[in-house]
Amino acid sequence: MADDGGVADGRWRVRAPGVTGTACAVALLLAGHHMVPDAGPRPGSLLEAFLPWLGLAVPVLAVAALVRRSRFAAVSVLLPAAVWAAVFGSRLPEGDRRAGDLTVVQHNVAEENTDPAGTAAVLVASGADLVAVEELVEPAAARYERILGTAYPYRARSGTVGLWSRYPLADVRPLDLRPAGVPASWQRGVRATARTPRGELAVYVAHLPSVRITATGGFATARRDGSAAKLGALLAAEPARRVLLLGDLNGGRDDRGLAPVFSQLTTGRQGVGLSWPAALPLARIDQVLGRAVTPVAGWTLPRTGSDHLPVAARIRL
């Protein structure tokens, strides 16, 4: 006998409400993630930090639909697949590395890095025109200065962030990105004007505060979000037409806490470029963003002694 709403064993059943309901829920989360509340433990921001990974639900649901032999469930799985493709499909192509005018590299070298010389060598070997580095701390910072200085005659540094350039740098100044309650010694941003063969370019290097998942506080993003708001205000007030931002933003383009930054700049065609953690990258938190300049290709460099992968991009001015 067939069960309620189904047919005889061995044939396709009509319904599998669990699979269908889950498929619809995944599609709704992908399309309407900004509607998820972010009060208290910030579930909305936590969802957005790993939003692309919801796509893994699609093959799981497809297998479940086959096991349940439900045509309706199988068709319903197409909904989250289509939404995922609409949201993230355009981000997948890496672009043409031969296009563009400049190569830039962004890397959080990690305070705990035990091989600063090897890390600096990877950055030099990239052949980039601009190299942005975060977590420059002594005594390793001196080694980065020395090795990067052999290939890059121009440098701008403030606190634990730095920029090395093949082109002259002018109007160098620190950026105040301190969230509330952080002392003045906290210096994690710098701005400089790079005088490239194609004209001047305002370059920002920023390292926003880390985020944490705690048992009592949930997804703790308040300090990062406060720093992102300050960075967004500085970008909005920047008089230069061409702006390039390189940095560890501790979040990606879907995270609402970083909207003050991502709403003003473009990621271009950099592909996925997951950068953290280096051993098994799950998220793109190292960013190359532009205004009136366009990233036309992006890729990751070989792993260094950091827990981040270096990310590189070709930029069209």
Is the domain of 68 the same as that of 119? Answer: no
DSSP of 91-156: G---B-TTSSSEEEEEEE--TT-S-HHHHHHHHHHTT-SEEEEE---TTHHHHHHHHHHTT--EEE
Domain boundary among 30, 65, 91: 91
What type of residue sits at position 253? R
CATH of residue 141: 3.60.10.10
* Reduced DSSP (H G I as helix, E B as strand, rest coil) percent helix, strand, coil of the chain, to 5: 35, 25, 40
Structural domain includes residue 97: no
What is the rounded CA–CA span in Å between residue 50 and residue 209?
A: 18
Is the domain of 125 the same as that of 250? Answer: yes
Quote the pLDDT of residue 218.
Answer: 81
**Side-chain-facing half-sphere of 104: CA atoms under 13 Å:** 35
Is the domain of 28 the same as that of 110? Answer: no
For residues 23 and 76, the answer to whether their CB atoms sit within 8 Å is: yes
Quote the pLDDT of residue 90.
Answer: 78
Model pLDDT for residues 56-94, shown as the tens digit of each residue: 999 999 999 888 888 888 899 999 999 999 988 878 777
Is the domain of 134 the same as that of 26? Answer: no
Is the domain of 122 the same as that of 268? Answer: yes
What is the rounded CA–CA span in Å between residue 108 and residue 286?
A: 8
2 backbone dihedrals φ, ψ, rounded to 5°: -80, 150
**50 or 7, higher pLDDT:** 50
For residues 290 and 313, the answer to whether their CB atoms sit within 8 Å is: no
Range of the domain at 196: 102-316
Q: What is the pTM of this model?
A: 0.89
Is the domain of 79 the same as that of 111? Answer: no
Beta strands 102-108 and 130-134 are: parallel
- Reported as a pLDDT band with limits 50, 70 and 90, residue 5 is very low
Structural domain includes residue 10: no
Domain boundary among 91, 122, 142: 91
Structural domain includes residue 41: yes
Is the domain of 161 the same as that of 46? Answer: no
Residue matched to tokens 């977590």: 135
Who's near 8: CB < 8 A, 6+ residues apart? 1, 2
Is the domain of 218 the same as that of 261? Answer: yes
What is the rounded CA–CA span in Å between residue 317 and residue 309?
A: 25
Domain boundary among 33, 64, 91: 91
What is the rounded CA–CA span in Å between residue 6 and residue 2?
A: 5
Structural domain includes residue 9: no
Structural domain includes residue 96: no
What is the rounded CA–CA span in Å between residue 212 and residue 84?
A: 27
What are the Cα distances from residue 192, in Å, to 76, 123, 154, 243, 315?
51, 20, 11, 10, 17
Cis bond before residue 139 (omega within 30° of 0): yes
What is the rounded CA–CA span in Å between residue 305 and residue 136?
A: 13
Is the domain of 131 the same as that of 32? Answer: no
Is the domain of 188 the same as that of 263? Answer: yes
Model pLDDT for residues 241-300, shown as the tens digit of each residue: 999 999 999 999 999 999 999 999 999 989 888 999 999 999 999 999 999 999 999 999
Number of domains in the chain: 2
- Reported as a pLDDT band with limits 50, 70 and 90, residue 12 is low
Structural domain includes residue 24: yes
What is the rounded CA–CA span in Å between residue 113 and residue 135?
A: 10
Is the domain of 186 the same as that of 37? Answer: no
Quote the pLDDT of residue 14.
Answer: 58
Is the domain of 83 the same as that of 148? Answer: no
The rounded radius of gyration (Å) of the Cα atoms in the chain is 23
For residues 87 and 31, the answer to whether their CB atoms sit within 8 Å is: yes
Model pLDDT for residues 43-52, shown as the tens digit of each residue: 888 888 889 9
What type of residue sits at position 151? A
Model pLDDT for residues 198-233, shown as the tens digit of each residue: 999 999 999 999 998 876 678 889 999 999 999 999
Structural domain includes residue 232: yes
